[in-house]
Amino acid sequence: MTSVIELEQLGVTFGKRQILKSLDGALNGRSIGLLGPNGAGKTTLIHTLLGFHPPSSGTARIFGQDITQNAKEVRAAVGYMPERDSFIAKMSSVHFVRLMAELSGIPPRHALERAHEALFYVGLGEARYRPVDSYSLGMKQLAKLAQAIVHGPKLIILDEPTNGLDPPTRSRMINMIRQIRDSGRARILLSSHLLRDVEECCDEILVLKDGHLVANCNLEEDRKANRKFIELETRGGNRTAFAEAIGGLGCEYALSGERRMKLIMNETVEISDLYRLALEHQVQIRRLNFKRDSLEDIFLKAMETNGSVQANGRATNGSL
């Protein structure tokens, strides 16, 4: 199956400064989150995928199309919502979105119709004839989303789509991104400083640090892998003997405070075994939670990595 994005030893150099350093990986998620601190290379990677910066080494492919050899096909398949405003002064929203549709290859006779549809979809139907420079910040963000989707791209790149939005407008933006993701009409690459946005919208993440790819993982698979980490809250009985009995099953455990316990279950132990031992030692299990790494946990682990990782998430220098 062709990957959404393939990175093959991709490097980008500005002058004597190397910005992206031999990025390798294959991204296949419905919605891919691009994370990293300021200066990590996120915007440079996006601009390189779009053809704004030529690679100094290696290459990348979008749906199998090489970004250097098939630049025209790549641009036709991609919609881009930039972080900074790029509107034309005094131009109405509908005419701006129509222009973007034409530049993306839509015939003029269809571009206006598509512009109306895109603006109604994002909730700007009633304001589509107003000049974009009269819009509020939230409306401008929605107009940028409209021009990114107007030509029906296979991949939509969103750079800080909720930047500066108030809570209701942010919620509307997040819901639209989810709708696009769940519809299957397009894949999404979402770059954001807000971990919450990525966690709510994305099923795969790519983390950059100092131009290196330091994490590339499927969030759902990563969380499922942590289902053997358990947190217990207990009452009564002989808690020490209960913990030692759990250890006798081959589980690692640690007591926390007077009532809490953390343990790592091995493959042969089931939840029912914990309740059986609790009954034997007259311990009440009042609460049991699977502990799963949050996106913040994954991101902070990636920031501790000194080198780069392969697509399977293993570090080549240092470790996660």
Model confidence pLDDT, tens digit, residues 247-265: 999 888 888 888 888 888 8
CATH number for the domain spanning 171: value is: 3.40.50.300
Distance separating alpha carbons of residues 14 and 57, to the nearest angstrom: 12
CATH number for the domain spanning 266: value is: 3.30.70
- Which pLDDT value is given to residue 319? 29
pTM: predicted TM-score of the whole model, two decimal places = 0.78
Please report whether residue 199 resides in a domain.
yes
Q: Do the beta carbons of residue 225 and residue 57 sit within 8 Å?
A: no
Distance separating alpha carbons of residues 20 and 42, to the nearest angstrom: 9
> Of all helices (H) and strands (E), which one includes residue 30?
none
- Which pLDDT value is given to residue 226? 55
CA 33-202-217 angle, 5° bins: 65
Find the length of the chain: 320
- My answer on whether 127 and 178 are in the same domain is yes
Q: Do the beta carbons of residue 37 and residue 193 sit within 8 Å?
A: no
Please report whether residue 312 resides in a domain.
no
Q: How far is CA 61 from CA 21, 33, 206, 217, 312, in A?
A: 17, 18, 16, 19, 18
- Which pLDDT value is given to residue 315? 38
- My answer on whether 238 and 214 are in the same domain is no
- My answer on whether 26 and 162 are in the same domain is yes
Please report whether residue 311 resides in a domain.
no
Please report whether residue 308 resides in a domain.
no
| Full residue range of the structural domain in which residue 105 is found | 5-220+298-303
Closest CA to 208 of 65, 63, 46: 46
Within 137-279, strands assigned E span: 155-159, 187-191, 204-209, 212-218, 229-235, 252-256, 260-264
- My answer on whether 278 and 201 are in the same domain is no
- My answer on whether 26 and 102 are in the same domain is yes
- My answer on whether 61 and 207 are in the same domain is yes
- My answer on whether 171 and 260 are in the same domain is no
Please report whether residue 196 resides in a domain.
yes
- My answer on whether 54 and 114 are in the same domain is yes
- My answer on whether 123 and 232 are in the same domain is no
Strand partners, 183: none
Backbone angles phi, psi at 277, to 5 degrees: -65, -35
Please report whether residue 125 resides in a domain.
yes
**Count of Cβ atoms closer than 10 Å to residue 222 Cβ:** 18
- My answer on whether 41 and 174 are in the same domain is yes
- My answer on whether 134 and 277 are in the same domain is no
Strand partners, 29: none
Please report whether residue 200 resides in a domain.
yes
Strand partners, 7: 25, 60
- Please count the structural domains in the chain: 2
- Which pLDDT value is given to residue 230? 85
Please report whether residue 314 resides in a domain.
no
Distance separating alpha carbons of residues 10 and 24, to the nearest angstrom: 7
Q: In the chain, which stretches have pLDDT less than 50?
A: 310-320
- My answer on whether 42 and 69 are in the same domain is yes
Q: How far is CA 320 from CA 203, 207, 243, 263, 266, in A?
A: 19, 12, 29, 21, 21
